[in-house]
Amino acid sequence: MKIFCPNCDATYETKVNHRNPIGQNFECSQCSQEWFQYNLCKRNKNDNQEEINLRKLANEEYQLSNNKPKATTNTGTEKDIPENVRLRVQESSDRFKKNRQHSLNHKTEIIKSAASTNQWTIIGFLTISLICSMVCILYVLNSQLQKNFPVGQSLFLKYKLIIDQVIIFIQNFYIHTLQIIN
């Protein structure tokens, strides 16, 4: 089956997709136009009215894409595509381009918001990691700090006692949780 790009009139040869009897999406490799191409294959005789109307519409669009506008000759034997049909196709193409651009803009906004969320997550994680590291370093080096800074010895001692209480609380919580689980 031959299909034509509705934007640049590029021609492609394709097989009928029997898995999707209505048609399939295509993208032009020359101009990147995307469109839905209806299948024009024959179907069973028991098609319902909606499918018949769909086939008529597909045939009309196929004929429109297949019959490019031709200049009339003096004999008047060649026919132009009716102006209302040409305007309908142009309007449809313009709407498609507008919707595609809107969709691309929306995807870009989502990606930007996800990126900013990730930046703040990383900053928060780094901040908490830094604080935890400082707490551990101060705890491990507490006795050294008490010796080197006698003025702040009582402050370092209180800090060590508070951290010891936090560690005991965490141990008790962990033991209690294990008892509940078992």
pTM to 2 decimal places: 0.34
Task: Report the alpha-carbon distance of residue 92 to residue 65 in Å, rounded.
Answer: 13
Residue 70: predicted pLDDT:
42
* Domain range annotation of the chain: 2-68, 141-182
Lowest mean pLDDT among 22-36, 81-95, 116-130: 81-95
The answer on pLDDT for 166 being more than 80 is yes
Residue 32: predicted pLDDT:
87
The answer on pLDDT for 124 being more than 80 is yes
Task: Report the alpha-carbon distance of residue 27 to residue 14 in Å, rounded.
Answer: 13
User: Do 62 and 38 touch, CB atoms closer than 8 A?
Assistant: yes
User: Do 156 and 146 touch, CB atoms closer than 8 A?
Assistant: yes
